[in-house]
Amino acid sequence: MKATWLALVVSSLAWAQQPSVDDVLKRGLAALEAGRNAEAAQLCEQVVTRDYTNYSGHFCLGLALYRQGDLKGARFEFTQLTLLAPNRFEGWFNLGVTLDRLGESAEAAQALAKAIEVGEKAGVAPADLRTSYLGLAKAQRDQKQYEQAATTLAGALKKFENDQEVTFLLADSLYRANKPLEALPYLYTLLNQNRANVGAVSLVADIYVGQGLPERAVTELDRSIAAAQDPKVRAQIVYKKSSLLSGKAQQDALVEAARLDPRLWAAQYDLGRVRYQGGDFRGALEAFQAAYSQMPEEPHVALALALTYDRLGQFAEAGRFAALAARATSGAEKAEALFVQGKASYFQQRYDSAEEVLLQAVQLKADRGAAWFYLGRTQFALKKYEAAIASLERAQALEPTADTAANLGVAYLAANRYADAERLLNQAVALNPRDAVAWYNLGIALQALSRNAEARRAFQQALNLGYEPARQFLR
């Protein structure tokens, strides 16, 4: 009995020495204020464990978890706040922000709408209300509910007059809701405040283009270009103007945008595309390199460099940039990058690597004849003749060309399928009568079929076109 009594006394003393809930909460809030989020979470979890209805404990724990990236945990804690005190602003607002981060836009919109409702009744600070309106509009826009977003932002503008961010988002939401003419007054309000407002003048230009008035769009952009004092701002507007131009005028505008702001990588990238499409591959390379120096992590730039190096026959560089692009892209773009990478490996005689990569390319995009063509040539180089035939047959079915027919004919020769070889090589020389090697290989196929007179004519044609190995068959 005495031992039991002593144990009870010791236990009671230990409980009495435990810090109070308020003390633990104060320490948790201090840790949160100091940015020690893990410590704050640990302390505030103790608070809610001992007093589950403690609003400040849940609030502290929710914020600490949010800051540590534990969004699901934060959502749970902020949900508890809305249950404990449904008429308080903080719980609904923080729940809405967290749901938005989780990508749950519909639920975020509901929470933020409730935050606005209770916040207006409670008279919370205007800055907090403004953030709630903007958050609600974002959640609605994320769901493509542009009319609802416009209604939300119109309500916000009544409370926050002359707010440029709210005004622009309202105009943009109206534009996206197919109400462009209703957007124009708000955009001109912004332009009257700042003629060099890039977002506003760009959207005005889009509206005029949509109304079939491209010249007026260019005029508005020119007015803003003339008004812009900051070269970087002017560069962005000139860049926008370039999208409405074509030919030399477009190229000149892109050059000017890049000159005004050398860090505007998108202008350099588009300049490269214009030059590439015009056949100026060296000029394109220069522009793409400038874009890459500013944005090396952008896969579209890496892919553009790969394609340009490929056109210039610089296969080592083409392969390097194609590999970078392939790692950072998906779908059709990844298939394109893998194709260029595999082709580059083929021309560097790295046939095992080329086959591996080109097989991935055709798996992603099976209707690309050129990918099957280089896969077939690679397999032929590896002496995998049946696989080469299958690939080249697929290439010829998708994109019939003289070159594919000639290569497929040679693959048939290697597999001793002489009749098929003769058929394909005849197709090849019909499509390209100046292909001396195809005439030579046709002669080989005809000779194997004991059609010697025809074979001799094929060898003579090859020799006439300058293919000297054919001479040995004419003696």
pLDDT tens by residue, 5-42: 434 344 444 444 678 999 999 999 999 999 999 999 99
Cα angle: 166, vertex 169, 171; to 5 degrees: 110
Amino acid at the residue 456: R
Write the secondary structure of 149-173 as one string of H (helix), E (strand) and C (coil): HHHHHHHHHHHCCCCHHHHHHHHHH
- Which domain, by its residues, includes 429? 400-475
- pTM metric for this prediction: 0.83
CA distances from 307 to 39, 268, 280, 321, 341 (A): 52, 16, 13, 9, 10
Predicted local confidence at residue 39, as pLDDT: 96
Asked if residue 406 is part of any domain, the answer here is: yes
Nearest Cα neighbor of 320 from 288, 344, 298, 356 is 344
Asked if residue 437 is part of any domain, the answer here is: yes
CB 276 within 8 A of CB 284: yes
Report the alpha-carbon distance of residue 3 to residue 348 in Å, rounded.
Answer: 86
Cα pseudo-dihedral 121, 127, 131, 133, rounded to 10: 50
Predicted local confidence at residue 475, as pLDDT: 80
Asked if residue 469 is part of any domain, the answer here is: yes
Amino acid at the residue 22: D
Spatial neighbors of 270 by CB under 8 A, at least 6 apart, are 239, 242, 254
Asked if residue 232 is part of any domain, the answer here is: no
CB 418 within 8 A of CB 412: yes
Predicted local confidence at residue 4, as pLDDT: 43
Predicted local confidence at residue 18, as pLDDT: 77
As given in the structure block, the two tokens for residue 153 are: 């932002």
Asked if residue 432 is part of any domain, the answer here is: yes
Report the alpha-carbon distance of residue 192 to residue 222 in Å, rounded.
Answer: 15
Residue by residue, DSSP assigns 318-356 as: HHHHHHHHHHH--HHHHHHHHHHHHHHHHHTT-HHHHHH
Report the alpha-carbon distance of residue 461 to residue 106 in Å, rounded.
Answer: 73
Asked if residue 463 is part of any domain, the answer here is: yes
Predicted local confidence at residue 387, as pLDDT: 98
How many CB atoms are closer than 10 A to CB 324? 21
Report the domain count for the chain: 1
Nearest Cα neighbor of 352 from 396, 324, 309, 384 is 384
Cα pseudo-dihedral 199, 202, 203, 206, rounded to 10: -160
Nearest Cα neighbor of 55 from 91, 26, 31 is 91
Report the alpha-carbon distance of residue 256 to residue 278 in Å, rounded.
Answer: 19
- With residues binned 3-state (H G I as helix, E B as strand, rest as coil), the percentages for the chain, rounded to 5, are 80, 0, 20
Predicted local confidence at residue 3, as pLDDT: 46
pLDDT, one tens digit for every residue, the chain (475 residues): 444 443 434 444 444 467 899 999 999 999 999 999 999 999 999 999 999 999 999 999 999 999 999 999 999 999 999 999 999 999 999 999 999 999 999 999 999 999 999 999 999 999 999 999 999 999 999 999 999 999 999 999 999 999 999 999 999 999 999 999 999 999 999 999 999 999 999 999 999 999 999 999 999 999 999 999 999 999 999 999 999 999 999 999 999 999 999 999 999 999 999 999 999 999 999 999 999 999 999 999 999 999 999 999 999 999 999 999 999 999 999 999 999 999 999 999 999 999 999 999 999 999 999 999 999 999 999 999 999 999 999 999 999 999 999 999 999 999 999 999 999 999 999 999 999 999 999 999 999 999 999 999 999 999 999 999 999 999 8
Asked if residue 46 is part of any domain, the answer here is: no
As given in the structure block, the two tokens for residue 253 are: 């505008």
pLDDT tens by residue, 325-372: 999 999 999 999 999 999 999 999 999 999 999 999 999 999 999 999
User: Which CATH number belongs to the domain containing residue 467 in this structure?
Assistant: 1.25.40.10
* Radius of gyration of the chain measured on its C-alpha atoms: 35
Residue by residue, DSSP assigns 407-471 as: HHHHHHHHTT-HHHHHHHHHHHHHH-TT-HHHHHHHHHHHHHTT-HHHHHHHHHHHHHTT-GGGG
CB 288 within 8 A of CB 272: yes
Asked if residue 453 is part of any domain, the answer here is: yes
SS3 54: coil
SS3 391: helix
Predicted local confidence at residue 14, as pLDDT: 44
What does the buried/exposed string (b/e) look like for 445-473 if buried means 16 or more CB atoms within 10 Å of the residue's CB?
A: bbbbeebeebbbebbbbbbebebeebeeb
Cα angle: 248, vertex 246, 232; to 5 degrees: 80
Nearest Cα neighbor of 96 from 77, 110, 80 is 110
Nearest Cα neighbor of 369 from 341, 344, 342, 401 is 401
As given in the structure block, the two tokens for residue 344 are: 């580059």
